[in-house]
Structure 1
Amino acid sequence: YSALTSNFHPTGTILARLLDAGADAFFAGANDLVVPAEGSWLADAAGSLIPAERIGCFGPGGNLTAANGQPIHHLNYFNDEATVRFLLHSLGIAQEPVTPLAPETSLPSRHFFRRARGGSRSAGEGEASFEPTAVRKVPAAAGSEAGRGAEPDLVNAEDTLHLTILGSPDEEIASEEGGRQRSRRPMPMILAIYGSARVLEKFPTRNSGGLARSGTHFQQIIRRHISISRSLQGIPDKSSGMVPELPDGDELQQFGGHLFEALFVGSVRRLYDVARSQQRGRALNIILTCTVPWIATLPWEFAFDPSRRKFLATEEVHFVRNVLTSVPAQIIERRAGALQILVVAALPQRSTFLDLEEEEARIRLGFKSLVDAGLVQIEVLVDATPSRLHDWIQARDISGHRYDVVHFSGHGEFDAEGEEGKLIFVNSYGGAQEVDVRTLREILCGRGIHLVFLNACDSGRGSRSRSRRNSGVAQALVEGGLPAVVANQYEVLDSAAISFSERFYWSLALGATLGAAAREARIALNYQIHGESIDWAIPVLYARDPEFRLCQPLAQPRRAAVGAMPGIGPEAAAGPRRGAAKTRRLRVGIADIDLQFTELEGILARLNSVQDEIEFKRVDVVVPLGVWQLAGDTDARVTHYLHAERIVEKLKRHPSALGVDLLACITTHPLRDDNIYNLYGWWSGEKERPVLLFSTWNLAIPTLGELSGRVIANELVAGIAAQLLESGGGQRAIHKQGAKSCPFYFNQERDAAQLSQPLRFDAGCREKLLGQLPAALVDAFDSLLGAFANGTD
């Protein structure tokens, strides 16, 4: 046999859309949709291949040149003299030599589905720049130890299902409807690729003919998407005036079912079922790419397979996203040692209250378990300006000791007018400075960085406009060549982001792939919430290759790493205790949600040492989403508050799960309840909801030293005593008159000095406590209030 083919880049309406979506990778596989490419000699990967000297190929990477200089395709094959000469050679009529073209050759593509590899050119170079190639080696498969940047050939990528939603071209189609001429946009298409199979289907977003349910799916998806956004931001619904509730278990599955049915249409669903059936214990990678901005903004991570009763992103599927780009991802050597992470903190509003050493200590505390296990090494850049970040990245780049990961912790926003995402850095005067996507790409891309983790609001949000594709921060960084980016598609609390990133980095450092690490992190975040939540689906992983590994897999996991793995290791001891645990009347768990107090372990150790009635221990709590409330009162100082009743309702089962009687949570966020804004302390007063809250928002409270210990002791005593008093049927604990040095005094002015001074119960409050609580417990309160009596400013 002989093979005559063309590596043709089509133009025109639907073909232009395929090309824009990186369909050159499609044509580089075994196919005959438009014109045969390398599939003409690789049709049967297990059989005999056509000899190199009997292959003729036009176009980039080929060995034939068109005589008329025009691209060769299925309509003009036999109009070119070169075709005739090759046919005569194949039939033995003419002996004109043909440059051999090895059947293992992978034709050049624009690398949408594949990273750049040896012998191919970068996108942006014209077709004429490709030289005919005689022989090119097929690179080692991904995961082999031959090279860090190796990636499986698309023809043999049996573990990956590519889904690409293709938008309409810019031009509109004129049509006659009802006697009037009007313009309409063609229906989007979805291209699905699995192994050598390719499927192209219509992707309906509204009711049309036999696709009557499509519009219903998208109506339900958009309605729920808006409801979730309003709930997380605390914005009341326009019709009811109430803040929507987050979906519960059944509602979440229904929402996910609509997403699944909308995505897997027609033969795409059949190809998905085939792919799942062929995995045989291996995880299926699903890479979703969308060229329609408003469809791309939908939370596809919630997709729920109704037949298998499973959410795709947490089951036997690695669900990741990609973006359209002509820039190949940078090829980087896999690290053999600890993961190198640069943590970038840019919080202008916090710089007023925290010195840089305290902020760095707080950040290091969040990575402590990973560092102690020898899995990561971190450097911390606090009060980050664009210039300082540039300096640190450039210095590492020049030295050759590049960072593997850049972890950004701060704020982001989406400029609706400019239609692009931005990150907020600190300027040279300590204020806020917006940094656009172009600057971020210039600083971060092409520097040997594997991954950027964006713990920032709106970091995963993109424009809904057709003209502003990849305008979000995450999408723009991937478009610029970064191998992977993690971002949030909704607002998320720091505690959830920290929990996700901890397990994510842990898995990566042990040698897991990006897809596997993201799945494990979602699973961990889900069970740490205790109950139904949506937090696990908020992070979005953008990656060119789900099988990308940042570190060499460990032949045998380090004992220290396994023993201290987040969520499974032994609980940290709170410190020395004078009495046995069983003699204590009360067990109290302390959750420093935002890791504000870096010496909390020592503080709790001292509180345990001065009395025998209460056992304090540090616990980890991830505050679930849906606890924000939009300010609706002129007394409010900020726009969004943590709503006390909502938080406690979400956390009411946590104390039992943590093995404590009371759970006390400390947060840096502003706090309110149904009646009062800007609270610094709150408790339920109910036995069914044994949770206390303490907010340090806008309070100049030190986070280190004796004074920080006194503040914590004062507020713990006030909260615990009031909770026990009121939940036991006693009268209200707080008083607005009387001694200000009493823990029950209502400090309406939020005077930080009042909170940090030595306190003791006044005679009236002490009498109320003794009337309802054991005297030994009341004495323990006194001991706790005096534990840091010598603290000074």
Structure 2
Amino acid sequence: MSDYRHLYQLIEDVFDLDGIRTLCMELKFETGVDITYENLAGDTIRRKAQELQEFARRNGITPDLLQVIHSLKPRIDLTKFGGPEPDLSKPDRPVGAEAVGNGGQDAAPAEPEPPKMVYDNFDITIRPSGTPNAYRIEAKSPNGEASAGAAQVFPFENDEYQYLAKSLRDVQISETQFATDMGELLRKFLFPAPIQELFTTTLNVSRVQGKDGIRVRININEESSELYQVPWEYCRDDKNFLSLNADTPLVRYMPTNRTPSPISVPYPVKILLAWANPESLDTLDVQSEIAAVKNALAQFVAEGKVVIDELENATPTTLVSKVRQNPPHIFHFIGHGALLPNGGGGLALDNGRKSHVMLDGDRMLRLFQGDDTKLIILSACQSGATSDKSEKSSSAQAFMGLAPKLVWGGLPAVVAMQYDLPNAAAQPFMQTLYEFLALGKPLDTAVTEARMGLDFAIFESPYWGIPVLFMRSPDGNIWA
């Protein structure tokens, strides 16, 4: 069965409003169904595209819509939607503003630049109050500031919270209801009435202004590092899971004294795809995820916009050689991760002797020092987790997991896993993540769409909340 849910994203990227008008005219001519541009609600490209997708679905003419898109833009790959394969022998037909610009003559226009997505930041800062397990919560957005007033008590000692947290960590028993119940607990803590009101106002204003939504940035004070272990990705507002809604991508924001840096890079984007599957650890289905990444980026590779370098059975020596000789823009590791005795995190590399060795955060920071690497993706069990220890330390970073430490150390963005992610879930998540990055979407948007893809790939499971996005970048645009 074909997946049409994200067809509107492609329409939005490829066609302007006049182009959508042309789609309606061609679709009406081909099917005889009464559809007009004026009858599509909204006045933005995204809204019109969504309405067109929904109209086609309701009337059973989505395959016809795909054929019309193919007739106008034969070079576009529609196979993921069940449509035709690209035909590079034919030029795209100019429509909308393209047709006006060349007098209506058929020509192969330049590849359109994907429109930049625009989000307002909604920053939620959590600070210690001086009372154990109680915190000051403040929110800030372009529409003002709000605070919880009295300190909010986090339910660390609550039996329900402890049960839900344990259940979500256990992939064998975890189910959707656990995520919903956890989401409500987190909402009550994070969104007291004044902050909920500011959130609703900010989201509504962003929509009126034609923006794509609001980026929810959870900023946890370094002195409250025990909150890093909380699965914020399951937090709900009054209606939805924040991280499953493209209007409200959720980011874990790491406060440091470093200036945030953008993560855009020039073409070609260099990706180092490394993996380790030591015999001393459980066997992982590494090849399916590698295939998913390559498939998602195949068109970019063919166009020379992306170069993928591979490192099989990575050892500390081979990894440092690869990275220092040819620093990647994106480092993607597939393998095992674990918490170390000191509370930090590490990646399990091959030691060359049928066993493994742990690469800790300090060495990773030294390895990726410099400005070349903008994004690290860690597809490794527990690579986004933090120590369960809650007592304070003179150096809170000692209790961080690997991903927070990397961002604290200067990496603009890291995608990692806070719990064990089953092999069957890693493949669809990474496939969708790279597909949306290849479409030019910001990293936080791509992560949200990947969560949605995973939610639909594996029903009745909360696996979509396991990936975590840590980001210090002012925006999430990967491609320059």
Q: Which category of TM-score, normalised to the shorter sequence, fits these structures?
A: 0.5 to 0.7
Distance in 1 (CA, whole Å) between partners of 2:430 and 2:253 is 20
1:443 Cα deviation after fit: 0.6
Distance in 2 (CA, whole Å) between partners of 1:320 and 1:474 is 13
Q: Is residue 496 of structure 1 aligned with residue 425 of structure 2?
A: yes
1:247-295 deviation line (CA, Å, top 9, x unaligned)? 344x532321221111112422221121122121522100002132222
Q: Is residue 194 of structure 1 aligned with residue 141 of structure 2?
A: yes
Q: How does 1:421-432 map to 2 (within 5 A)?
A: 421-432=345-356
Distance in 1 (CA, whole Å) between partners of 2:313 and 2:167 is 35
Structure 2 vs 1, CA of residues 485 and 327 (structure 1 numbering), >3 Å: closer, same or farther? same
Contact persistence 1:330–1:446 (CA under 8 A)? no
Q: Is residue 301 of structure 1 aligned with residue 226 of structure 2?
A: no
Distance in 2 (CA, whole Å) between partners of 1:456 and 1:294 is 22
Contact persistence 1:343–1:378 (CA under 8 A)? yes
Aligned residue for 2:408? 479
Contact persistence 2:275–2:313 (CA under 8 A)? yes
Aligned residue for 2:46? none
Distance in 1 (CA, whole Å) between partners of 2:408 and 2:260 is 9
Aligned residue for 2:296? 370
Distance in 2 (CA, whole Å) between partners of 1:195 and 1:367 is 37
Contact persistence 1:289–1:322 (CA under 8 A)? yes
Distance in 1 (CA, whole Å) between partners of 2:333 and 2:119 is 35
Match of 1:413 among 338, 341, 365: 338
Match of 2:163 among 193, 203, 223: 223
Structure 2 vs 1, CA of residues 222 and 271 (structure 1 numbering), >3 Å: closer, same or farther? farther
Contact persistence 1:345–1:381 (CA under 8 A)? yes
Aligned residue for 1:265? 192
Identity %: 27
Q: Is residue 276 of structure 1 aligned with residue 203 of structure 2?
A: yes
Q: Is residue 387 of structure 1 aligned with residue 317 of structure 2?
A: yes
Distance in 2 (CA, whole Å) between partners of 1:288 and 1:351 is 34
Structure 2 vs 1, CA of residues 252 and 360 (structure 1 numbering), >3 Å: closer, same or farther? closer
1:647-667 deviation line (CA, Å, top 9, x unaligned)? xxxxxxxxxxxxxxxxxxxxx
Match of 1:548 among 470, 476, 479: 476
| Corresponding residue SS for 1:466 | coil
| Corresponding residue SS for 1:305 | coil
1:390-446 deviation line (CA, Å, top 9, x unaligned)? 11111114xxxxx2211111111112x412111111224342111211111111232
1:490 Cα deviation after fit: 1.0
Q: Is residue 443 of structure 1 aligned with residue 367 of structure 2?
A: yes
Contact persistence 2:350–2:357 (CA under 8 A)? yes
| Corresponding residue SS for 1:160 | strand
Match of 2:465 among 537, 540, 543: 537
Distance in 2 (CA, whole Å) between partners of 1:380 and 1:158 is 34
Higher helix share: 2
Distance in 2 (CA, whole Å) between partners of 1:353 and 1:421 is 20
Match of 2:256 among 302, 325, 328: 325
Structure 2 vs 1, CA of residues 542 and 330 (structure 1 numbering), >3 Å: closer, same or farther? same
Aligned residue for 1:433? 357
| Corresponding residue SS for 2:126 | strand
Alpha-carbon RMSD across the aligned residues, in angstroms, is 3.1
| Corresponding residue SS for 1:424 | strand
1:23-76 deviation line (CA, Å, top 9, x unaligned)? xxxxxxxxxxxxxxxxxxxxxxxxxxxxxxxxxxxxxxxxxxxxxxxxxxxxxx
Residue 256 of structure 2 aligns to which amino acid in structure 1?
T
TM-score scaled by length of structure 1: 0.41
Residue 405 of structure 1 aligns to which amino acid in structure 2?
I
Q: How does 1:592-671 map to 2 (within 5 A)?
A: none
Structure 2 vs 1, CA of residues 551 and 203 (structure 1 numbering), >3 Å: closer, same or farther? farther
Structure 2 vs 1, CA of residues 256 and 353 (structure 1 numbering), >3 Å: closer, same or farther? closer
Residue 303 of structure 1 aligns to which amino acid in structure 2?
C
Distance in 1 (CA, whole Å) between partners of 2:383 and 2:149 is 30
Residue 528 of structure 1 aligns to which amino acid in structure 2?
A
1:334 Cα deviation after fit: 2.8
1:545 Cα deviation after fit: 3.5
Residue 422 of structure 1 aligns to which amino acid in structure 2?
G
1:333 Cα deviation after fit: 4.9
1:171-215 deviation line (CA, Å, top 9, x unaligned)? xxxxxxxxxxxxx55942112111262234357454xxxxxxx75
Residue 272 of structure 1 aligns to which amino acid in structure 2?
F
| Corresponding residue SS for 1:519 | helix
| Corresponding residue SS for 1:499 | helix
Residue 305 of structure 1 aligns to which amino acid in structure 2?
D
Contact persistence 1:217–1:262 (CA under 8 A)? no
Q: How does 1:97-108 map to 2 (within 5 A)?
A: none
Q: Is residue 160 of structure 1 aligned with residue 85 of structure 2?
A: no
Structure 2 vs 1, CA of residues 186 and 365 (structure 1 numbering), >3 Å: closer, same or farther? closer
Contact persistence 1:221–1:259 (CA under 8 A)? no
| Corresponding residue SS for 1:548 | coil
Residue 128 of structure 2 aligns to which amino acid in structure 1?
G
Residue 138 of structure 2 aligns to which amino acid in structure 1?
L
Structure 2 vs 1, CA of residues 217 and 514 (structure 1 numbering), >3 Å: closer, same or farther? farther
Distance in 2 (CA, whole Å) between partners of 1:216 and 1:269 is 22
Contact persistence 2:346–2:359 (CA under 8 A)? yes
Contact persistence 1:406–1:452 (CA under 8 A)? yes
| Corresponding residue SS for 1:279 | helix
Contiguous gaps of at least 5 residues in structure 2: 1-112
Structure 2 vs 1, CA of residues 435 and 189 (structure 1 numbering), >3 Å: closer, same or farther? same
| Corresponding residue SS for 1:348 | coil
1:309-342 deviation line (CA, Å, top 9, x unaligned)? x1111112111111222233445553344x4211
| Corresponding residue SS for 1:533 | coil
Structure 2 vs 1, CA of residues 216 and 538 (structure 1 numbering), >3 Å: closer, same or farther? closer
Contact persistence 1:457–1:490 (CA under 8 A)? yes
Structure 2 vs 1, CA of residues 457 and 190 (structure 1 numbering), >3 Å: closer, same or farther? same
Structure with greater contact order relative to length (CA < 8 Å, sep ≥ 6): 2
Q: Is residue 254 of structure 1 aligned with residue 188 of structure 2?
A: no
Contact persistence 1:285–1:546 (CA under 8 A)? no
Structure 2 vs 1, CA of residues 499 and 549 (structure 1 numbering), >3 Å: closer, same or farther? same
Aligned residue for 1:459? 383
Q: How does 1:708-747 map to 2 (within 5 A)?
A: none
Name the count of aligned residue pairs.
351
Contact persistence 2:256–2:408 (CA under 8 A)? yes
Aligned residue for 1:8? none
Structure 2 vs 1, CA of residues 457 and 364 (structure 1 numbering), >3 Å: closer, same or farther? closer
Residue 252 of structure 2 aligns to which amino acid in structure 1?
R
Distance in 2 (CA, whole Å) between partners of 1:418 and 1:216 is 22
Structure 2 vs 1, CA of residues 446 and 495 (structure 1 numbering), >3 Å: closer, same or farther? farther
The structure with more radius of gyration:
1
Residue 477 of structure 1 aligns to which amino acid in structure 2?
L
Residue 484 of structure 1 aligns to which amino acid in structure 2?
A
1:83-108 deviation line (CA, Å, top 9, x unaligned)? xxxxxxxxxxxxxxxxxxxxxxxxxx
Contiguous gaps of at least 5 residues in structure 1: 1-144, 170-183, 207-213, 235-244, 398-402, 553-793
Residue 194 of structure 2 aligns to which amino acid in structure 1?
S
Residue 519 of structure 1 aligns to which amino acid in structure 2?
T
